[in-house]
Amino acid sequence: MKGGGAIRSGGGGGGGLMRTRLRLPTPSLIPYQILSWQPRALYFPQFATAEQCENVVKTAKARLRPSTLALRKGESEETTKGIRTSSGTFLSAEEDPTGALAEIETKIAKATMMPRSHGEPFNVLRYEIGQKYASHYDAFDPAQYGPQKSQRVASFLLYLTDVEEGGETMFPYENGDNMNIGYDYEQCIGLKVKPRKGDGLLFYSLMLNGTIDPTSLHGSCPVVKGEKWVATKWIRDKTL
């Protein structure tokens, strides 16, 4: 059943006497909404401030390059042309002079309860009109990509801008739907999440047994009107 709640950060429970003795900080809440159980996906409204989002866009804009793909066995840049048409850059928190990414990274660690040391640098992306990312998995199947030293467990997407039309993050296989229709990885179907400035989306790529969740297939629908900026934090099962 879908629902919502709030993750406590910065403190724990306990009675008033224990709180006084230990001088525990007053916990802050990180509200969230459960979007789906297949895949496991949570939505975090107003996760970042408008100022933080604008600072990330400003920092990344001068570094943008055409986005690339991790290639599977037998693939080449030529054969995969058109799958991912955005531009982007990788940014670590240390490379952001405004401090916005460090603040966001710390909050992501609290929301996911996974240490900052398990996160890859942010992949900041810009999608202009018509640009998209065909459906794909964030985790790497060793049979297709070769042996992996670590695996991507989860992805946290922070939307840095509103998008007037299009640009949704979509999960075509939610609840096992569309898996037997000959889906071509291009259609924008299934569960769709509209980008809203400052909101976050967390989803898990792995099942509890460590195998890739087939319903975590996802993509970015083409932008129809406006421009989409998003910062993605991939979280792994081992310290990087």
| Confidence label for 19 from pLDDT (cuts 50, 70 and 90) | very low
Question: pLDDT tens across 105-116, in order?
Answer: 999 999 999 999
What does the pLDDT read at residue 73?
65
pTM of the predicted protein model? 0.88
Task: Give percent of the chain above pLDDT 90.
Answer: 78
Measure the CA–CA gap between 103 and 51, rounded to whole angstroms. Answer: 12
Decide: residue 238, CB within 10 A, 0-12 exposed, 13-18 middle, 19+ buried. exposed
Measure the CA–CA gap between 176 and 37, rounded to whole angstroms. Answer: 11
Q: Where are the domains of the chain?
A: 31-236
Beta-carbon neighbour count of residue 95 at 10 Å? 14
* CATH fold label, 31-236: Jelly Rolls (2.60.120)
Residue with more model confidence, 91 or 19 = 91
Question: pLDDT tens across 204-234, in order?
Answer: 999 999 999 999 999 999 999 999 999 999 9
Residue with more model confidence, 21 or 190 = 190
Report CA-CA distances (Å) from 190 to 111, 135, 217: 26, 11, 11
Amino acid found at 240: L
